[in-house]
């Protein structure tokens, strides 16, 4: 049993959510660090799971005519199957509806109650049902809406148990002042510390309005608040209050969370722990959010990245690589399929793929697949050796600060160095000249670069590394190797290489674009905007006099199937315009609508009617649909559009 331990968790995900890129991101990151630490000889405990209590699932089950647990049993499979697809190596999967968890939660509640850290009071506040949280008046949105989801809040008053957060304010500040890495990145640390300095209020931790949850011991009218319940999962999996796992793993606990749930993890949770006499986790790392091609992802926009689809289209390893390479772990990132395809082509097919293919091809050609040994290392070779040793160190440092993008950049600069080394040493020339001793050394150095690269990419791309390992003719699996024991030359023991299939075939961009367009069209998204107009000066635009008008009358025009004769009111005058809306709008739909009209267009006669202006409407390329442009709030008629 190794003496070094490492405990990493993802948040437990809300069981009724459709797994998306955010869930995938946190879980892949936790998987990468777990695999890496195992390779460094750590005894790793990696947990994920699902949060299954609360009002949302209760309601959702009711709508579907199921019990809450039936719904949870069904939807938990969405997560379990995604983790299988994404090759996640978690050691435990906890569901908050499990008995082991209920026992732990009750035990902790009772203990905090008996020592006076939980008391009974009344709670009144504005509550967001979907987010399951009370919103303080200071952060409510316009019209008493939730600042997170924008939905209307409900006023609730209830008897509630409270956690005595305020009592531990000073202890927590003290803890953070002495543990600067307990919240990462630094911006989040500062954010939390200043939040605590602003003063903490006791947290309501029970509900009488909800039935689906763990009952308060001895007061079954109350159900334990879902956050209090959920956070405890990190202790449940360790077998709290005692036992081997608590001793081994808890002192090495690290939580990966999205930046939206950092207050629960960095204020409520550590206070619960301090009250229980347990040290807070070593680090809570808050990562950023993903947008999609520049926009916030939302189901209604149809721009949610489906991780199953991405893994299916591009391969699990390419998806894992892209997510961690593209954006620093603590910052927000933008997901674009185009960017992913470009990375596959440049980093994976080109840099990594070429180094492997060229090297194995030469070992095959010059050495009948047997890896030669290096003889005399020249300066250039020694420089590679130094680079490699530095790479291993840098990877270690950056892994420890969860800078996954930096880790990958470092590995890829070694790979690029390898490709450059081929160009510098020109092995084909050495072969032609019969300088076989030098050729052997060059091939051995290249083989060494590949072996180390293979080991270092293994936590990120386990399947790819395994395929590479086989091609390199190594025994066992790359993830079973101990990185700490790695020494220059240790791989070059007359291995026999097996040049195999290309790891990442190049994606043909033209073909890809066409297929992507077809996929998007089938999802109702237009990616091809059609022809663009030439750029114009601002004055050109200013010449158009556009104003807000209201439709005040409508009639058909004899023998014109598409046209309406529309009376509009501009406030300062009334006009008639003719417009081709008849196939898309009924008269009732249009009457009274406020629209945008180009007023200084030369009048034109259409089917005998003089049209004095033109209204603005949008339509997707190649489709019959139409949408009218209307002002988004009340504004006087005749207002200029600019």
Instruction: Name the residues that contact Zn ion, by CB under 5 A.
Output: 128, 131, 146, 148-149
Q: How far apart are CA 505 and CA 475, in angstroms?
A: 25
Q: State which residue, 128 or 443, has the beta carbon closest to Zn ion.
A: 128
236, 15 contact by CB (below 8 A):
no
Rg (CA), the chain: 32
Q: State which residue, 154 or 589, has the beta carbon closest to Zn ion.
A: 154
458, 35 contact by CB (below 8 A):
yes
The full 3-state SS of 238-254, as one line of letters, equals CCCCCCHHHHHHHHHEE
CB of residue 15 to Zn ion, shortest distance in Å: 18
Q: State which residue, 124 or 154, has the beta carbon closest to Zn ion.
A: 154
Q: State which residue, 146 or 497, has the beta carbon closest to Zn ion.
A: 146
465, 455 contact by CB (below 8 A):
yes
Q: State which residue, 128 or 445, has the beta carbon closest to Zn ion.
A: 128
287, 256 contact by CB (below 8 A):
yes
Strand partners, 12: 49
CB of residue 341 to Zn ion, shortest distance in Å: 35
CB of residue 231 to Zn ion, shortest distance in Å: 19
Q: State which residue, 57 or 599, has the beta carbon closest to Zn ion.
A: 57
CB of residue 233 to Zn ion, shortest distance in Å: 22
Q: How far apart are CA 314 and CA 311, in angstroms?
A: 6
Q: How far apart are CA 83 and CA 308, in angstroms?
A: 10
CB of residue 150 to Zn ion, shortest distance in Å: 7
Structure-token pair, residue 416: 């690029």
Which residues contact residue 402 at a Cβ distance below 8 angstroms, ignoring those fewer than 6 apart? 29, 33, 184, 256, 285, 329, 330
176, 196 contact by CB (below 8 A):
yes
CB of residue 132 to Zn ion, shortest distance in Å: 8
Cβ–Cβ contacts within 10 Å for residue 460, how many? 23
Q: State which residue, 149 or 436, has the beta carbon closest to Zn ion.
A: 149
CB of residue 515 to Zn ion, shortest distance in Å: 38
Q: State which residue, 130 or 218, has the beta carbon closest to Zn ion.
A: 130
CB of residue 75 to Zn ion, shortest distance in Å: 20
Long-range contacts of 469-478 (CB under 8 A, 24+ apart): 470/498, 470/500, 471/356, 471/360, 471/497, 471/498, 471/499, 471/500, 472/360, 472/447, 472/497, 473/369, 473/371, 473/497, 473/498, 478/454
Closest CB to Zn ion: residue number: 146
DSSP 8-state code for residue 624:
-
CB of residue 118 to Zn ion, shortest distance in Å: 26
Q: State which residue, 126 or 285, has the beta carbon closest to Zn ion.
A: 126
- Taking 3-state DSSP, the helix, strand and coil percentages for the chain, each rounded to the nearest 5, stand at 45, 20, 35
């Amino acid at each position: 049993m190794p003496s070094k331990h490492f405990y990493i968790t993802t948040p437990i995900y809300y069981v009724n959510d459709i797994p998306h890129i955010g869930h995938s991101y946190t879980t892949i990151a936790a998987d990468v660090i777990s695999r890496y630490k195992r390779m460094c000889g750590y005894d790793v405990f990696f947990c994920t799971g699902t949060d299954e209590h609360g009002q949302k699932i209760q309601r959702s089950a009711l709508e579907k005519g199921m019990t809450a647990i039936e719904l949870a049993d069904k939807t938990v499979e969405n997560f379990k199957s995604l983790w299988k697809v994404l090759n996640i190596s978690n050691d435990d999967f906890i569901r908050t509806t499990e008995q082991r968890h209920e026992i732990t939660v009750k035990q902790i509640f009772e203990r905090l109650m008996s020592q006076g850290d939980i008391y009974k009071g009344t709670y009144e506040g504005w509550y967001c049902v979907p987010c399951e949280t009370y919103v303080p008046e200071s952060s409510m949105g316009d019209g008493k809406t939730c600042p997170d989801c924008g939905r209307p809040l409900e006023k609730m008053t209830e008897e509630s148990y409270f956690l005595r957060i305020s009592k531990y304010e000073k202890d927590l500040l003290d803890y953070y002042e002495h543990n600067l890495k307990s919240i990462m990145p630094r911006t989040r640390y500062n954010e939390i510390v200043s939040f605590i300095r602003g003063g903490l209020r006791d947290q309501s931790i029970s509900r009488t309005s909800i039935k689906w949850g763990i009952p308060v011991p001895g007061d079954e009218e109350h159900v334990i608040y879902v956050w209090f319940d959920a956070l405890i999962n990190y202790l449940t999996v360790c077998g709290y209050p005692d036992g081997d796992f608590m001793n081994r793993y808890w002192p090495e606990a690290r939580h990966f969370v999205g930046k939206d749930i950092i207050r629960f993890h960095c204020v409520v949770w550590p206070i619960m722990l301090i009250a229980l006499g347990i040290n807070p986790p070593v680090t809570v790392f808050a990562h950023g959010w993903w947008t999609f091609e520049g926009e916030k992802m939302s189901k209604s926009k149809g721009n949610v990245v489906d991780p199953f689809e991405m893994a299916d289209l591009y391969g699990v390893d390419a998806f894992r690589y892209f997510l961690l390479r593209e954006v620093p772990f603590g910052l927000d990132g933008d997901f674009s399929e185009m960017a992913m395809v470009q990375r596959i082509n440049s980093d994976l097919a080109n840099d990594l793929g070429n180094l492997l293919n060229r090297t194995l091809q030469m070992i095959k050609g010059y050495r009948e697949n047997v890896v030669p040994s290096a003889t005399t290392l020249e300066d250039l070779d020694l420089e590679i050796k130094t680079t490699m040793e530095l790479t291993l160190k840098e990877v270690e440092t950056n892994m420890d600060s969860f800078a996954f993008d930096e880790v990958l950049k470092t590995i890829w600069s070694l790979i690029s160095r390898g490709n450059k080394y081929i160009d510098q040493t020109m092995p084909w020339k050495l072969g032609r000249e019969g300088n076989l001793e030098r050729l052997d050394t060059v091939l051995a150095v290249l083989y060494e670069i590949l072996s180390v690269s293979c080991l270092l990419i293994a936590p990120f791309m386990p399947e790819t590394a395994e395929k590479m390992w086989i091609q390199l003719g190594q025994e066992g699996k790359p993830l079973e190797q101990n990185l700490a024991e790695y020494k220059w030359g240790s791989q070059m023991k007359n291995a026999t290489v097996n040049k195999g299939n290309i790891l990442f075939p190049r994606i043909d961009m033209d073909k890809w674009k066409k297929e992507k367009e077809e996929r998007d069209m089938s999802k109702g998204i237009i990616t091809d905007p059609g022809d663009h107009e030439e750029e114009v000066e601002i004055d050109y635009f200013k010449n158009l006099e556009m104003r807000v008008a209201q439709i005040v009358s409508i009639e058909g025009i004899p023998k014109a199937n598409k046209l309406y004769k529309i009376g509009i009111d501009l406030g300062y005058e009334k006009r008639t315009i003719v417009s081709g809306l008849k196939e898309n709008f009924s008269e009732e739909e249009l009457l009274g609508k406020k629209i945008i009209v180009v007023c200084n267009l030369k009048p034109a006669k259409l089917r005998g009617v003089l049209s004095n202006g033109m209204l603005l409407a949008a339509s997707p390329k190649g489709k019959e649909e139409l949408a009218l442009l209307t002002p988004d709030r009340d504004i006087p008629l005749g207002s200029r559009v600019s």
